[in-house]
Amino acid sequence: MLQLTPIVTHIAGYRFVPVEDTQATLLEIEGFSHGLGILGTVFLASEGINISIAGNLLAVLTFRQRLDQDSRFCGIKFHETYCQKIPYSKLNFKTKKELVPLGVETVHAGESEHQYLSPAKLKQWLDEGRDFNLIDMRNTFEYEIGSFATAKHLNLKKFKTLKQRQTEMSQLDKDKPMVTFCTGGIRCEKAGPYMESQGFKQVYQLDGGIIEYLRQTGGSHWQGNCFVFDERITIDSQLRTQPMRLCLECQVSLEGQDSMFSGANDETESGKPEGELCPACQQRKQVDHVAI
């Protein structure tokens, strides 16, 4: 008899909203989450909340209903995708100084003039060949795994290095419309205000990020896969899981490269205990060991 694997529902969403009692609020969310059978991460900061969890549909719906009882988080817009198994090994609750570390005290999400551009409108602009800057605000390794064909990248090793990318920014026309994008939108909530502070006059954010664009357009003008921050590693333009071997240290793709397991005992944020290293990171690790 054919046995079907149960479908797992994955949701990811955020909201920038003042949270004064972060510890107490996190404990409350943790309290109603345990026992539901969900796994994933909930990050809370004084500036808001960021959630990525997975489980069966009933468990996820129950979590959302209980979260909605807090007026600060009611009605959060979640990205919903599906997979064959839960792509996390733990359920983590953490407080953070910033949901998205940028390190610029004068930049706050929600306090800018930047506008949201729908996936349909972005596709239309791309179809028309309109002249605008399409800026990938993700890290370099994410950009290399997949991006829009005409996207520019600011050589970000980490998002918080955005303020150091003055050379790359100087090459962009500040009078030309700019559309920023990232996986789900959270990084652009800060990137938009920051780019405005640097003199860019027409800044748009892709509403819903890459995930919503792929869902609504089927991946038109997109090349490659999209990195996701869980054990699925990447998804394709149809939002289907596409596992990929990545270096544990630098996240470069290991496809076609010689690699070896690091033998590390420390667990990653997802709970996965160890991974493979690319040749460059393995060599660097050997040099560091000799230096010690």
pLDDT of residue 254: 80
pLDDT digits (tens, 9 = 90+) for 12-57: 999 999 999 999 999 999 999 999 999 999 999 999 999 999 999 9
Is residue 258 situated within a structural domain?
Answer: yes
Q: What DSSP character marks residue 246?
A: B
pLDDT of res. 124: 98
For 273, other C-beta atoms within 10 Å of its C-beta total 10
Strands 79-83 and 133-136: unpaired
| Number of folded domains that form the chain | 3
**Which pLDDT score is estimated for 90?**
97
- Spans of the chain below 50 pLDDT: 1-3, 264-273, 289-292
Whether 1 is in a domain gets the answer no
Tell me the CA distances in angstroms from 64 to 53, 73, 146, 217, one per residue in order. Answer: 11, 9, 31, 27
The domain boundary, picked from 194, 227, 260, lies at: 227
DSSP 203-238: EEEETTHHHHHHHHHSSTTEEE-EE-SSTT-EE-TT
Q: What is the pLDDT of residue 114?
A: 82
Question: From the candidates 74, 83, 182, 188, which is the catalytic residue?
Answer: 182
In a domain, 108, yes or no: no
CB 226 within 8 A of CB 235: yes
Q: Specify the pLDDT at position 107.
A: 85
- For the question of residue 182 being annotated catalytic, the response is yes
**Angle 246-249-250 from CA coordinates, rounded to 5°:** 70
pLDDT tens by residue, 191-208? 999 999 999 999 999 999
Here the tokens at position 32 are 């109603």
* 181 and 84 fall within a common domain: no
Domain that holds residue 165: 115-227
Provide the pLDDT for residue 60. Answer: 98
Residue 283 lies in a domain: yes
Whether 119 is covered by a domain: the verdict is yes
Q: Which of 29, 230, 44, 206 is nearest to 126 (CA)?
A: 206
DSSP 124-170: HHHHHT---EEEE-S-HHHHHHEEETT-EE---SSGGGGGG-HHHHH
pTM: 0.86
Is residue 3 a part of any domain in this protein? no
What gap in Å lies between CA 209 and CA 251, rounded to an integer? 21
Residue (of 5, 17, 7) closest to 83 by Cα position: 7
pLDDT tens-digit map of 234-246: 999 999 999 888 8
Last residue of a domain, one of 61, 95, 129: 95
Residue 288 has what pLDDT?
A: 58
Is residue 40 in some structural domain? yes
